[in-house]
Amino acid sequence: MTKITKLLVANRGEIALRVLRSAREMGLQTVAIYSEADRNALHVRYADEAVCVGPPASKDSYLRGDKIIEVCKELGVDAIHPGYGFLSENADFARMVKAAGITFVGPSPEAMNIMGDKLSAKQAVQAYNIPLVPGTAEAISDVEEAKRIAEQVGFPILIKASAGGGGKGMRLVHAAAEFEEQMQLAINEATSAFGDGSVFIEKFVTGPRHIEIQVLGDEHGNIVHLFERECSIQRRHQKVIEEAPSSVLTPALRAEMGRCAVDVARACNYTGAGTVEFLLDDQRNFYFLEMNTRLQVEHPVTEMITGLDLVKEQIKVAQGEPLSFRQEDLSITGHALELRVYAEDPQNNFLPDIGRLQTYVRPQGPGVRVDDGFEQGMDIPIYYDPMIAKLVTYGANRQEAIARMLRAIEEYQITGIETTLGFGTYVLRHPAFVSGDFDTNFIKDHFQSSVLQQTPSPELARLAAVLAAKLLTEQKGAAMASNGAAAGGAAVPVSNWKKNRLAGR
């Protein structure tokens, strides 16, 4: 047991603030780091101390592991929380931190190494009974052999880079004739992107759901799962809406996937918070894909349904404390949704929109949580992720969580930049989303084809004008008389997000 007294958060934005808040509740002293672009950021003001670590570019600041460790030594910091992104999954950094006598709030470098490589992850879980997508569990370089396996598995197949992840380094092959060319391209891509040309083959699961299980392990061999998050609503591998629990899992399937996730964690002696990713096919068969060895962006939905604070749990585990609960003590209460609010323009192919937050008023009230790192008047820096906030709602059931999300989106006031808020309304009102009958193709199937190609009709423009006028009147009158203005007369569910946008929200 090495009690942590002073924690440095090696991150920025909403997650830095999120981690600092839990650290403060635990009575820890806190240190923020920041780049020259983040001098006025909220995480800098929130921490007890803050140190500038370099110029705006991540590689010159938030990725400077050596500098960050220097800061720790100077300020007597005894632990580093890496957040997500940046150095969070860098095993070499975790090793350097440890070597400097500082606690890394996260898994061991060994576990990070095993799970950081898709093939070594598959090999590590082989001793356990974990379902894998049919294909090869080893790197394959012989084209003829690869072709034979592909024929056995059956087309279409995916060629994946072992060092890839999150959709990077994948190639879809429909037929044997394309195989050789695609494999060469995959190897070349993997070599230049990751410095490792190892690739493997998997049967392509069409229209899968992306379901991930949160796990938590301590240094005493205890590992539990904290149920699932449904992350199928994504666009080009960028998640848009996450929820917990998933509406497709039965209690039996949930327990089975949970057991598998715990075994995946056990296979690498996992400690701390981690996420095991599965694909679920239309027959509800599940397959282990990969493990993320960090706290994830979407962790709040799990916190809402379990009542746990995952950051506190991470810190307690890092201090060597045993978990204070067993699997049978855990249960799901209610339903949570998370909408990622990006500074992107859905009307313009989701291009990042930078600028100043001229108006920034957060939604409030029952069942609403906003994790963000901005305030009105701030600029969205161009150097980092375009996510402005995570809007999280909680309800007794899915229906209530959805209604609260729609209401919270209406209350949210952002001007000065385009955001994906209105796009959220579109998804949340879509019959396929409401019914729970969707997969990872949801946005491809229901957005691009039906909405983006539409030019605004005169009818839509008229609706937007009426709505804008109505909103203006409301704003001049009582504050937030939430009478469902944006929902009013929603005869064309397909394009509500446009109305929102045109109304300047």
Q: Any contact of residue 11 with ligand MV4 (CB under 6 A)?
A: no
Please state, in angstroms and rounded to a whole number, the distance separating the CA atoms of residues 13 and 288: 31
Q: Any contact of residue 500 with ligand MV4 (CB under 6 A)?
A: no
Pick the piece of the chain touching ligand MV4 (CB under 6 A) from 161-169, 373-381, 414-422, 427-435.
161-169
Apex 425 CA angle, 424 and 428, nearest 5: 85
Query: Which ranges in 269-397 belong to alpha helices (H)?
Result: 299-306, 310-318
Please state, in angstroms and rounded to a whole number, the distance separating the CA atoms of residues 273 and 252: 23
Which of 55, 76, 154, 166 is close enough to bind ligand MV4 by CB under 6 A?
A: 166
Is 202 or 344 the residue whose CB approaches ligand MV4 more closely? 202
Which of 38, 117, 202, 218 is close enough to bind ligand MV4 by CB under 6 A?
A: 202
Smallest gap from Cβ 125 to ligand MV4, in A, equals 16
Pull the structure tokens for residue 267.
């296979």
Total chain residues near ligand MV4 (CB under 6 A): 18
Q: Any contact of residue 229 with ligand MV4 (CB under 6 A)?
A: no
Pick the piece of the chain touching ligand MV4 (CB under 6 A) from 87-95, 159-167, 179-187, 405-413.
159-167
Pick the piece of the chain touching ligand MV4 (CB under 6 A) from 37-45, 205-213, 376-384, 488-496.
205-213
Pick the piece of the chain touching ligand MV4 (CB under 6 A) from 50-58, 163-171, 247-255, 296-304.
163-171
Print burial letters for 362-390: b (CB count within 10 Å at least 16), e (below 16).
Answer: bbeeebbbbbbbbeeebebbebbbbbbbb
Please state, in angstroms and rounded to a whole number, the distance separating the CA atoms of residues 231 and 239: 7
Q: Any contact of residue 204 with ligand MV4 (CB under 6 A)?
A: yes
Site for ligand MV4 in 122-141 (CB under 6 A): 133
Which of 43, 64, 210, 335 is close enough to bind ligand MV4 by CB under 6 A?
A: 210
For residue 321, CA distances in Å to 104, 274, 306 come to 15, 17, 20
Please state, in angstroms and rounded to a whole number, the distance separating the CA atoms of residues 362 and 408: 8
DSSP strand pairing (359-361 vs 413-415): antiparallel
Smallest gap from Cβ 430 to ligand MV4, in A, equals 17
452: phi > 0 → left, psi -120 to 50 → alpha, else beta; which? alpha
Q: Map residues 274-293 to x or -, x wherever contact with ligand MV4 holds by CB under 6 A.
A: ---x-x---------xx---
Q: Is 294 a catalytic residue?
A: yes
Pick the piece of the chain touching ligand MV4 (CB under 6 A) from 6-14, 47-55, 164-172, 339-347.
164-172
Measured between its terminal Cα atoms, the distance across the chain in Å is 50
Count of C-beta atoms within a 10 Å radius of residue 81? 29
Q: Any contact of residue 237 with ligand MV4 (CB under 6 A)?
A: yes
Q: Any contact of residue 488 with ligand MV4 (CB under 6 A)?
A: no
Smallest gap from Cβ 298 to ligand MV4, in A, equals 12
Cis amide prior to 245 (ω within 30 degrees): yes
Q: Any contact of residue 240 with ligand MV4 (CB under 6 A)?
A: no
Q: Which residues contact 319 (CB under 8 A, 6 or more apart)?
A: 1, 2, 3, 4, 103
Smallest gap from Cβ 149 to ligand MV4, in A, equals 14
Smallest gap from Cβ 337 to ligand MV4, in A, equals 17
Is 234 or 302 the residue whose CB approaches ligand MV4 more closely? 234
Count of C-beta atoms within a 10 Å radius of residue 35? 22
Q: Any contact of residue 112 with ligand MV4 (CB under 6 A)?
A: no
For residue 155, CA distances in Å to 127, 147, 174, 255, 428 come to 28, 10, 6, 32, 34
Question: Looking at 18, 209, 294, 362, which residue is catalytic?
Answer: 294
For residue 408, CA distances in Å to 244, 413, 421 come to 18, 10, 10
CA torsion 150-151-154-155 (nearest 10°) is 70
Smallest gap from Cβ 126 to ligand MV4, in A, equals 17
Pick the piece of the chain touching ligand MV4 (CB under 6 A) from 39-47, 173-181, 204-212, 251-259.
204-212
Smallest gap from Cβ 150 to ligand MV4, in A, equals 12
Is 203 or 316 the residue whose CB approaches ligand MV4 more closely? 203
Q: Any contact of residue 234 with ligand MV4 (CB under 6 A)?
A: yes
DSSP strand pairing (335-342 vs 379-380): unpaired
Please state, in angstroms and rounded to a whole number, the distance separating the CA atoms of residues 237 and 157: 19
Tell me how far apart the 2 most distant CA atoms of the chain are, in Å: 73
Q: Is 95 exposed, middle or buried (0-12, 13-18, 19+ CB in 10 A)?
A: middle
Is 98 or 444 the residue whose CB approaches ligand MV4 more closely? 444
Site for ligand MV4 in 413-472 (CB under 6 A): 440
Q: Any contact of residue 167 with ligand MV4 (CB under 6 A)?
A: yes
Annotated catalytic residues are 294
Positions that interact with ligand MV4 (CB under 6 A) = 133, 158, 165-167, 202-205, 208, 210, 234, 237, 277, 279, 289-290, 440
